[in-house]
């Protein structure tokens, strides 16, 4: 049985248990993977560690690139990088553990724990868990994100923000800030800080010896710096203090530790409620992206395979690994990718100003396009000009086209997995610290 969070209660859903026959990986798996990634390595687009496992058995583990280019430190299997939103399943697991102890309940209102919270009497903890609490994804300015924060600090910032206009529970709008509020609720309910909670209730029982929540001013051993790809090679990303993502994206870890976490979930070591809440019909599929860091961890129920990657330079190579390593495991002949060739052109910075603004997808996601002296950015993704109106994003190997109408820029179209997805321009870009 599987427990799935819904707006007010836990609903039982039946899923298939067990694997009829465990498949065997190709005998030349390492050679196949090495051949597949070779163009990415040659282009300098692969920076991090890939781990492939089946059950407790490690089938493949390899690191590429640099943890710190300035110091000449290479990535290794014990290098720690931010896993971004893969923190969220851990926060859900903490909630499940406290729910089993009757310290929290999905039907509880936020107001039960946090006084003066906007709509606190009607927004429930289930709304927070399901991104239905009407809280924006981010409530921080660029300056805020360079400063240390606690979960209580993040609650204060959410209180000052404007909640989305729809009714709680009506729509799902992805919200990292909402998970930071949830982290604060867990602190209040348990009497422990989020860092203490995750260390004692998740890391220790799962055997995650190389994982750490980013506490204010705390050192993180073997931490990788984060980089962005560009036409002339890696460049540093903006300096950020990941404590502003407490409960949502604040954990640094390694592939082996995520493997240990998945095994702890699958074996029930973190409780049957946690296993039921996190498992899906196909297995587990976790993803994280923030400020140059990129991570994914996938477990396939039908084969028992795990494919895990944690990196410190976000490029389109990571998505292709996620798509094609499972095919290689299945014995398919996957073509070696072509080398990335982008002919960058010079564009007058004044001509780029016309594209600045806030853009929104059909699902309500937003980012700001800005021209800076050091590059042209959509959110934290640098766009490389290939013509006065066309750009290329190394972060996802996608083309970007700006589309005009009679009033100026109507939208931008961003290539994603062979499709051009529209992002409508909805307003002017504010100052970075607004």
Higher pLDDT, 14 or 409: 409
Handedness of CA 116, 120, 124, 129 (dihedral sign): negative
Tens digits of residue pLDDT in 74-87: 999 999 999 999 99
Domain-wise residue ranges, the chain: 1-341, 349-427
Of the candidate ranges 58-67, 97-106, 150-159, 421-430, the one whose mean pLDDT is the lowest: 421-430
Q: What is the pLDDT of residues 290-326, one digit of tens each?
A: 999 999 999 999 999 999 999 999 999 999 999 999 9
Higher pLDDT, 154 or 405: 154
pLDDT at 432: 57
pLDDT over 90 (residue 20): no
pLDDT for 369: 95
Of the candidate CATH numbers 3.40.710.10, 3.40.50.460, 3.40.50.720, 3.20.10.10, the domain formed by 1-341 belongs to 3.40.710.10
Q: How far is CA 146 from CA 79, 182, 313, 374, 382, in A?
A: 23, 22, 19, 19, 19
Residue range 187-205: mean pLDDT, rounded: 98
Q: How many residues in the chain?
A: 434
How is residue 265 annotated by DSSP?
H
- The pLDDT of 102-120, averaged and rounded, is 97
Q: What is the mean pLDDT of the chain?
A: 92
| pLDDT over 80 (residue 12) | no
- Lowest pLDDT segment from 4-18, 145-159, 179-193, 207-221: 4-18
> What pLDDT, in 10s, does the model give residues 224-251?
999 999 888 899 998 999 999 999 999 9
Cβ neighbours of 354 (radius 10 Å): 13
Asked if 229 contacts 313 with a C-beta cutoff of 8 angstroms, the reply is yes
Please indicate, yes or no, whether the overall pTM of this predicted structure exceeds 0.85: yes
What's the pLDDT score for residue 234?
92
Q: Is the pLDDT of residue 203 over 80?
A: yes
What pLDDT score was predicted for residue 15? 40
Predicted pLDDT of residue 433? 52
pLDDT in tens, 84-107: 999 999 999 999 999 999 999 999
Q: What is the SS3 string spanning the chain? A: CEEEECCCCEEEECCCCCCCCCCCCCCCHHHHHHHHHHHHHHCCCCCEEEEEEECCEEEEEEEECEEECCCCEECCCCCEEECHHHHHHHHHHHHHHHHHCCCCCCCCEHHHCCCCCCCCCCCEHHHHHCCCCCCCCCCCCCCHHHCCCCHHHHHHHHHHCCCCCCCCCCCCCCCHHHHHHHHHHHHHHHCCCHHHHHHHHHHHHHCCCCCEECCCCCCCCCECCCEECCCCCCEECCCCCHHHHCCCCCEEECHHHHHHHHHHHHCCCCCHHHHHHHCECCEEEEEEEECCEEEEEEEECCCCEEEEEEECECCHHHHHHHHHHHHHHCCCCCCCCCCCCCCCCCCCHHHHHHHCEEEECCCCCEEEEEEECCEEEECCEEEEECCCCEEEECCCCEEEEEEEECCEEEEEEEEECCEEEEEEEEECCCCCCC
Q: Which of residues 379 and 394 earns the better pLDDT score?
A: 394
Determine the average pLDDT of the residues in 277-288. Answer: 97
The pLDDT, as a whole number, for residue 61 is 98
- Over residues 385-428, the pLDDT tens digits come to 999 889 999 999 999 999 998 889 999 999 987 889 999 999 99
Phi and psi of 158, rounded to 5°? -65, -40
pLDDT in tens, 325-371: 999 999 999 999 999 989 899 998 888 999 999 999 987 788 899 99
């Amino acid at each position: 049985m599987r427990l799935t969070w819904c707006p007010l209660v836990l609903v039982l859903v039946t899923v298939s248990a067990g694997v009829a026959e465990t498949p065997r990986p190709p005998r030349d798996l390492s050679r196949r993977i090495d051949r597949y990634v070779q163009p990415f390595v040659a282009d300098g687009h692969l920076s991090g560690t890939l781990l492939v496992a089946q059950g407790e058995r490690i089938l493949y583990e390899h690191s590429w690139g640099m943890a710190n280019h300035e110091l000449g430190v290479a990535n290794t299997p014990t290098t720690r990088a931010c896993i971004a939103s893969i923190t969220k399943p851990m926060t859900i697991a903490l909630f499940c553990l406290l729910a089993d102890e009757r310290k929290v309940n999905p039907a509880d209102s936020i107001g039960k724990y946090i006084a003066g919270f906007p709509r606190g009497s009607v927004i429930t903890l289930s709304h927070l868990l399901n991104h239905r609490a009407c809280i924006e994804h981010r409530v921080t300015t660029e300056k805020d994100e360079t400063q240390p924060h606690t979960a209580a600090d993040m609650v204060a910032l959410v209180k000052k923000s404007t909640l989305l206009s729809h009714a709680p529970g009506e729509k799902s709008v992805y919200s990292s800030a909402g998970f930071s509020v949830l982290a604060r609720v867990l602190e209040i309910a348990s009497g422990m800080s989020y860092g203490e909670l995750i260390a004692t209730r998740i890391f220790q029982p799962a055997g995650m010896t190389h994982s750490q929540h980013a506490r204010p001013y705390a050192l993180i051993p073997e931490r990788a710096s984060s980089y962005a790809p560009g036409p002339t090679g890696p460049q540093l990303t903006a300096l950020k203090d990941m404590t502003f993502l407490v409960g949502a994206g604040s954990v640094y870890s390694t592939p082996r530790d995520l493997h240990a976490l998945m095994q702890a979930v699958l074996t029930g070591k973190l409780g049957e409620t946690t296993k039921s809440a996190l498992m899906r019909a196909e297995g587990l599929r976790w993803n994280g992206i923030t400020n140059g860091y990129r991570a994914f961890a996938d477990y396939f129920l039908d084969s028992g395979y795990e494919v895990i990657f944690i990196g410190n330079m976000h490029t389109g190579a990571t998505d292709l690994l996620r798509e094609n390593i499972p095919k290689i495991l299945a014995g398919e002949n996957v073509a070696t990718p072509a080398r990335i060739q982008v002919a960058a052109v010079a564009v007058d910075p004044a001509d780029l100003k016309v594209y600045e603004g806030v853009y929104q997808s059909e699902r309500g996601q937003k980012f700001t396009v800005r021209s800076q002296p050091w590059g042209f950015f959509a959110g934290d993704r640098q766009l490389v000009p290939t013509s006065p109106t066309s750009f290329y994003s190394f972060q996802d190997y996608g083309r970007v086209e700006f589309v005009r109408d009679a009033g100026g820029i109507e939208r931008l179209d961003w290539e994603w997995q062979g499709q051009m997805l529209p992002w409508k321009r909805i307003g002017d870009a504010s100052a970075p610290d607004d």
